[in-house]
Structures are given as structure tokens and as C-alpha cells.
Structure 1
Amino acid sequence: MPRSIAVLGGGLSGLVTAFYLQKFHSADQALDLQLFEAGSRVGGVIGTRQVDVPDVGTFTLDMGADMFALDPPHAMQLVKDLSLEDQLLTPDADRAGALVVHRGKLQPIPDGFVLMRATKPWQLLTTPILSPAAKLRFLAERFIKPLASDLPDQDVSVGQFVRHRLGEEMLQRLVGPLVAGIYTADVEKLSMNATMAPIVKMVQQHGSLAKATLSRKKGDNDKAERSSAGARYSKFRGFRNGMQQLIDALSEQIGEQAIDLNTPVESIQWDVARNKWLVSTAKQSEQAFDSVVVATPSAVAAKLLRGVKAGKLIKPAVDAADELAAIEASSAAIVVLAVRKDQVERLPRKFGFVVPLIEGRKVLAVSFASHKYAVRAPEDHVIIRVFIGGSMQPELLENSDAGLIELAKQELADLIGLKGQETISQVVRWNDAMPQYHVGHLTRVERIRSAVDQLPNLWMVNNAMGGVGIAPLSGIAKQTAEEM
């Protein structure tokens, strides 16, 4: 008899798990794998649109992530396993770097500054972004004793950590907007241990960020950071035809016959007599599987587990459901514009910019996608991606798509001098798509895993359980497949 496995959810987590399950499965036993996706397409928040404009050219618009990190190496290994290496693009090094809005104008993020560490202190000391008092506070960091919550096995918010070590102004003007650009989160709630564990370890080991940076410099561990501003762009890759290439390759390998689209799972039940999971969908009342992988968002996973009614499994299922339901998620919208370069009076030569909340603007960040990869747009055009909403400005998402486009254009007119009618304007909304790693998140994940471990032949993998980004998620999904 073939081993039967149901994968619930066709986002990146579900696709990568399914791919590696097929890859790792023993050749002497058949595998009956079925992936259920509630929506009309797989890929979750990853997707690309190709738009042909007559007499202008072709535009490649990534509507979610537009690149992946090489570190950790799991995404690159996935690319190799899919034989996609020849489709990769390296971001344009001549335009690498990021800017930050300061008093209504764009200023370069100090060279060598990565999240909250300055590998080139003199660059930070000469930036107009910080006041003299903030620069003195930065210099004093080496003398600041760690918080009690900086100790091992404790947790603290990013806001509390940065405010204690580097001061309020550094938090508001640099670290806060950079972190918000990654996590769309409230830094006063965001967990240091869940998002920036290496930084916490540095302070634990060396006593301060300054001393840790000096130690890493002596060991030449910060070479990449010293040549970057805000992010290590040399450590990222994209695809020639957008991130959809990754999703298409995974789908092709898994097989069309194994993927059920427009098929939301309504319930899962454990059949004690047969030692199987019964999966009920909107299309079919019941299908039996030896194993189940829950790769849905946390809220959906919580609903499914709360419905488990098999005797001894009720308590661990409900325990896991309660913890999953407690993980908040934020929403965001991306307004994608394509405009002629001559429509932008002050077009930066960098990849994008972040916007501090203190600036009182209505955008989180702006990315120039065709600066990263020139092949994404005709030479005389630029693709601009504007990020709106997040946990700090959710009310902005009440605007219609047309309203979001106008809002984005108004902000860009003020910040970079955009004028005239755009060639392309599109909006994508990612509702409740970004799990919030609040203080204590890792402890919560441990409790979820402990409860799920008591459910026979059931595994869980999603971006709420750890891993923001394609690389970490790919690693977790692969590990799950190996365990199975």
C-alpha cells in the first residue's frame, strides 16, 4: 500500500514540504501525496505578474518578495535541487544601498550600518540623520550594562533593547524603520529573541554591541556588513522572470494531479480504529491519509485543531489551537507603479528607502524593483513598489485600491518629485499575512510544538512557527520532510 500524505496549504511552506517529501521518499514504497489549497493559485504571498504595454515593453512585477537571502543557505539549496541556478539574478551592485526619510528628505543610511550595528562608526558619527546628542549616546553604548532581560533565556522587545543600548533617537530614526520594513511590526512588541537572536548573543558574549563589532572586525566577520548600508544586498538573489519561477518549478515537480486548488479544508479528524487522519474539504466529505502536514496560516490551523474530537487528542489539539490563535498577524498592501524615469525629478540611485513613523507619512517603505534588476522594465522606465499599512498604520488599508494608488502617488510626489500619469498601477493586499513575533514568541512556539508532538502523524510548518523569509521557511519545510 502506498503511504498517503495530505499537505494542507499551498503557500511556500506547503509547496517546499511537498517537494521534499517526494524527493526523500523511499523508492521501494509508493507515495500518494495530495496538496489542498483554498485559493485559486499556489504560492501564498509570492507571485509575479508579467505586463506587456504596447509600444513600451514588458514589465515583470513581483507582488510579494522579489529576492531571497543566501544566508541561511536553505533557499539556495532549494534552487539547486530544482535546477534553477541559471535563472538567478544578482542585484545591481552599483545601486546597492538604502535611504531613510529624515525631515521630509531622503538621506543615505550610514555605510556599514546593519539593523543596529555600526561596522563603520565614523559613518554614523557624520550622518545628518542623528543629532549630536544621539551620536554621543551611540558612543556611550560600550559602557551600558546589559538589561536583566538581555540574559540567556529571557526576552525583551526590540524597542526596549535598542532604547536601552542606543537611545530613543536611534530607535526612531534608524533601527525602527529598518525593522518595520522587514516585519511590518510594532517594535515595542517585537521579540528580540525571535527576530534578532544573533544580536542578543553578541551582547551576552561581549557586553556591548560596540565590543562585539570590534571583535568581529578583528576576525574579519563583518566584511559584508562593512560594504553595505541597511541590508547586505550582495547576499540576495532574484529570478529572471520574477519569484513566480520558484513557485512554478515547485508546482511542476509536485505535479498538477497532486494539487487541489479552490479546495479549502473544513476539518481534520483522527480515526482511532484505522490510525488515519480524515480530511474533509468543501469538495469531498472525507479522505483518509496516513499523515497530515498543516501548512496553513496560524488562524486556519487553530480552527482545524480545535475541531479534533478524538479522545486523548482533544487536549493537546486545543492547547495548540489556543496558542496558535494568540499569534497576531498584520496586513499590508503593495502599490506597484511603473513610470517613465523622466517623470521623477529626484530619482534615487539606491534600491529604496524606509520611512520612520515619526515622519508622519503614510508609507512604510519604497522599493525601486528595476534598480535591483534592470531586466524587469524597459530602460526608460522604473518600477516603484510602495508598502502601506502594517501593524502601526492598519487604518490606511481601509482605502480602496484606487485610493491606495493615489495615496502612494501623493507621497512619492512629495518625497521624490513624481509627476504625471503612470504607465502601470496595480495593488496587491496581503491580509493577515505577516505573523507578529511578539515578546515570548519562541516560548509560545515551544508550547505549540510540544502539543503538536502529541498528535500522531501530524506535522506543522508555517511562517508563524519561525522563519520570516524564503530561506528560513525553506529550511524548516525541508527539515519537516526529513523528519517525516
Structure 2
Amino acid sequence: MPEAGERDALVVGAGATGLAAAWSLAKAGRRVALLEASTRVGGNLRSERADEWQIEHGPNTVIMKPPLYELIEELSLLGEAQSANPNSRKRFIALHGRPAALPTRIWNVPGNPLIGWGGLGGLLREPFVGRGPSDEESLAAFVTRRLGPRVLERLVDPFVSGVYAGDPQRLSAAAAMPRLVELERVHGSLIRGGLARLFTSRRGRSTMPREWRGKLLSFPQGLQRLADRLAEVIATRPDATLTCNCRVQRIAREGEYWVAEVDDGRRWQARQLVLAVPAPVAARLLAPLDPALAEPLAEIVYPPVNVVSLGFRRADIAHPLDGFGLLIPHVEQRQTLGVLFPSSLFPNRAPAGHHLLNVFLGGRRSPQITEEDDATQIGQAIADLSDLLGIGGAPVWQRVVRWPQAIPQYEIGHLDRLAAIDAALARHPGLSLAGNWRDGIAVGDCLDNGRRIGERVAGR
């Protein structure tokens, strides 16, 4: 077989995690090869321009935190970064067939219809609720125990749908929202712990300018610009290579080297191998090598999600769309998980006089809807949103993007699965696994995790 060459490290998968890992290795002067199966980098960071419409196939924004700020500054992208419209702080949740805004100030909580008297009572009782059981709790059980059923039903349930497309009855509280569980463990109360951390964060110093802290951002070309720029800087390093349309079919250990065979017969080898791919892909590649390592990876669920992008004349939507978007709780009994308002967040996402909506269907609770044809998807989205947003006309532009395996679910048993993976990894020196199936699904989490793995591998 033809040899593609020996490297210090191979990184398989050029999504956000793999790109960040490869960039850390390249900066450290390591000979690194980044292999990507598709024809482009970025994974689910994919932006598309069609005439005057610009859509995101995956995430629409990232949250500016110190590690991301440092990366964007390092990539010379700070001048291009766009901060979302200040209205993005406003979020809507469907309540009895009408959009209700979440409170943006603590003193607005008591009168907010989403909270209600039942929710307010749960909030007031929360500091006096004892610590929970030692066994792993579902997110639904954790929230109900600490904050009551109203907060679960009207706030946490739609949030989980919007972030994970998941089911709070299945998600693990400790895996999906570890910060909440940590607040209970350390402070005995979410409210007391939240206030303590707020006080500490205000006293601490930040390497990030105040005007960027916590802001939602994108770029004029969309979030794919971040992935493309990482690919550009990796390519400038003389000892780094990035190869797309290069699907790894087999990995093996040969002496002190890891070998990756790609679909055209070439073989890449290195002492360090980073698999920055979805869990099912990692499971497939690792099964012949170590079934005990592949099994817990294969158990991680990825439900399907479809993104329905709809363009309307502004006059055909009564709602001002003056916020980030609208989430729909499961109790509202609609198929749609939620909708974002991209043309309200950033300029040039829609033609003048028009609105762009990004609607999400499917997820853990309703995977079957994603199998319907495009016309059915579009019809379902309009039916679910017409009364909520006051839609009075047909869309003038539309697009359906399908993700058959969208977002990994951190369900009950996830931490045990990760422990089993880490234990099995100890048998394979030089092998690292990374991706959004652990340590956070957000783009910023993936970039930071990739950076840390790259630095760790570079130091070996």
C-alpha cells in the first residue's frame, strides 16, 4: 500500500474539536496530519448563502468566553466578529398558544406568566431543599426536586429541547448540566451557589474586554468562517497538512505507531492518534481493535433533527421577532422544538423587508417527523408557528437541512460510559478520543476541549 507519510500526530475529523486540536499541535511545532472524510471542514459548522438569504445548517451563534476570545484574537478574526443584536437577550417560550417572554431582570420574576405562583413557590423553597440522593438522577427528577414541576415544565423542558433536542426524563443531570449539580453539592442550593459565583466572577479579573463578555457572536459569512480560518492557519504551518475527502476505513496499532488506512489505500502513521469524530464513527473504527472500548461509544444516542429555514415578507409576520427565538415546551403538544430569528440577530441574513426563521423538528421525543418529505416538514413548521408568531402568508423562500444523527444525548448512565471509555483507553497508549459526545456539546466547549487535547498530545 502507498504510504502517506509518518507524522508526530494524526487527527481524524475536522470538526470544531479536531480543528482546534490540530491547530494546537501545529503551533507547538509538531508534524500533524488532519484527515477529514467530507469535502469541507467544520462538521456541523456550516453556513450557506443562497441569493440574499444566509442560513446556518447547524449552530447559529457562539458565546464569547475567555478561551474563545483568545482563539479569535489569535486567528485575527476579532475585526470580523459580529455581536448579536442586544435584543438577543430576550427569549420567548410558548405558553397556552401564545409567546411569553422570559424575565430578563430578577425583579420581573414574580409577575412573569411563565413562572406563575407555582414556579415562584418552588424558587422560594429552593434554598431550603436538602441535597439529593447519591444515585444518578435524571434532569427532570433533579429540577422537580429542587425547583418544582412548574419550572421543569415551562422553563427547563423547552431549554433542553432547544439545546439537546432531548428529553429531560432521559438526560442525566450530572452529565448534561454538571454546573447545577455542582452548585448543589458545594453550596447546598442552586440559588445560594449562583449568587456566590456571581459575586466571585465580578471580583475576579478577566482577560476579555468587558464589551465582549458573554456576547453571542457570528461572522458576516456565518459561523463556518471560524472553521475555515482554523483550516487556513493550519495550512500555513510547514509541518502540518489538512486533507479533505479522506475517509479513514481502518485504524491499527503496529509497534509504536498508530496507522490509519484511508479509502484510497493510503496509510498514515504516527505515535499519537486523536479521533475527533462522532461516537458512532469512533465505535466503528475501534470495534475490531477493542470491543470493550467501542461498546460504550456505540451506546451514545444521536437523535435526528431537521432544520427548516423559512423566508417571509416582513408584512406577513405580525410578531416583531424582537429576540433570539422561541422555544416550545412539550406540554404545548406541537412537533416543533423551537425557532430562531436569525435576521433579527445579525444583518444581511435576509433580503430587505423580509424575515428569516430557522425552525427545528425531531429530536429524542419525535424522531419520526424527520422522515417525512420536505413539503411535510415545511407544512408542519408553519402549522406549529402560525398562531404563535401571527404568520399570515406563505413563505417566499424555504430550505430543509437534515441531520440524521444530530446531537449526542448525555443520558442516564453517560458518566459510567465515559468512565468505561477512559478505563479502556488506558490500554492504548497514544490514542485520544474527543468530540461533542463528552465535556459539552456547545461550539465553544468543543474548541476549548480540542485545544486542551492538542496541548496534552503535543507535550507527550
What is the TM-score when the length of structure 1 is the normalising length?
Answer: 0.85
Q: Could you say which residue in structure 2 is the equivalent of 1:49? A: 48
On the 8 A contact 1:134/1:167 being kept in 2, the answer is yes
> 1:291 and 1:162, CA in 2 relative to 1: closer, same or farther beyond 3 A?
same
Matches within 5 A, 1:138-287: 138-149=123-134, 155-215=136-196, 234-255=214-235, 258-272=241-255, 275-284=256-265, 286-287=267-268
Q: Could you say which residue in structure 1 is the equivalent of 2:317? A: 344
Q: Could you say which residue in structure 2 is the equivalent of 1:66? A: 60
**Post-superposition offset of 1:326:** 1.5
**Post-superposition offset of 1:246:** 0.9
Matches within 5 A, 1:62-461: 62-71=56-65, 73-112=66-105, 120=106, 122-149=107-134, 155-215=136-196, 234-255=214-235, 258-272=241-255, 275-284=256-265, 286-308=267-289, 317-461=290-434
Partner secondary structure for residue 151 of structure 2:
helix
Q: Given the alignment, which residue of 13, 18, 26 partners 2:17?
A: 13
- Matched to 1:477, the amino acid is G
Partner secondary structure for residue 258 of structure 1:
strand
On the 8 A contact 1:96/1:233 being kept in 2, the answer is no
| Residues 396-428 of structure 1: CA deviation (Å, up to 9, x unaligned) | 111112221121122222211223232321111
Partner Cα separation in structure 2 for residue 425 and residue 434 of structure 1: 23
Partner secondary structure for residue 277 of structure 2:
coil
Partner Cα separation in structure 2 for residue 259 and residue 444 of structure 1: 31
Partner secondary structure for residue 329 of structure 1:
coil
Give ranges in structure 2 of 5+ residues lacking alignment.
204-211
On the 8 A contact 1:91/1:233 being kept in 2, the answer is no
On the 8 A contact 2:87/2:324 being kept in 1, the answer is no
Partner Cα separation in structure 2 for residue 343 and residue 408 of structure 1: 15
> 1:362 and 1:204, CA in 2 relative to 1: closer, same or farther beyond 3 A?
same
> 1:14 and 1:418, CA in 2 relative to 1: closer, same or farther beyond 3 A?
same
| CA-based RMSD | 2.4
Partner Cα separation in structure 2 for residue 409 and residue 182 of structure 1: 21
Q: Could you say which residue in structure 2 is the equivalent of 1:226? A: none
Q: Could you say which residue in structure 2 is the equivalent of 1:22? A: 26
**Post-superposition offset of 1:391:** 0.6
Partner Cα separation in structure 2 for residue 464 and residue 140 of structure 1: 34
Partner Cα separation in structure 2 for residue 293 and residue 133 of structure 1: 49
> 1:51 and 1:201, CA in 2 relative to 1: closer, same or farther beyond 3 A?
same
Partner secondary structure for residue 375 of structure 1:
coil
| Residues 263-314 of structure 1: CA deviation (Å, up to 9, x unaligned) | 3211111112xx2222222211534333321111111111111112xxxxxx
**Post-superposition offset of 1:2:** 6.4
On the 8 A contact 2:46/2:57 being kept in 1, the answer is yes
The size of the alignment, in residue pairs, is 443
> 1:74 and 1:421, CA in 2 relative to 1: closer, same or farther beyond 3 A?
same
Partner Cα separation in structure 2 for residue 355 and residue 132 of structure 1: 21
Partner secondary structure for residue 155 of structure 1:
coil
**Post-superposition offset of 1:133:** 3.4
- Matched to 2:122, the amino acid is R
On the 8 A contact 1:24/1:481 being kept in 2, the answer is no
Partner Cα separation in structure 1 for residue 213 and residue 167 of structure 2: 25
Partner Cα separation in structure 2 for residue 286 and residue 90 of structure 1: 43
Partner Cα separation in structure 2 for residue 132 and residue 465 of structure 1: 37
Partner secondary structure for residue 201 of structure 1:
helix
Partner secondary structure for residue 348 of structure 1:
coil
| Residues 179-208 of structure 1: CA deviation (Å, up to 9, x unaligned) | 221111111121222232222222223322
| Residues 242-277 of structure 1: CA deviation (Å, up to 9, x unaligned) | 0111121122223399333333211111112xx222
On the 8 A contact 1:91/1:234 being kept in 2, the answer is no
> 1:40 and 1:402, CA in 2 relative to 1: closer, same or farther beyond 3 A?
farther
On the 8 A contact 1:74/1:472 being kept in 2, the answer is no
On the 8 A contact 2:94/2:100 being kept in 1, the answer is yes
> 1:442 and 1:221, CA in 2 relative to 1: closer, same or farther beyond 3 A?
farther
**Post-superposition offset of 1:40:** 2.6
| Residues 340-362 of structure 1: CA deviation (Å, up to 9, x unaligned) | 21110223311111100000011
**Post-superposition offset of 1:219:** 5.8
- Matched to 1:137, the amino acid is G
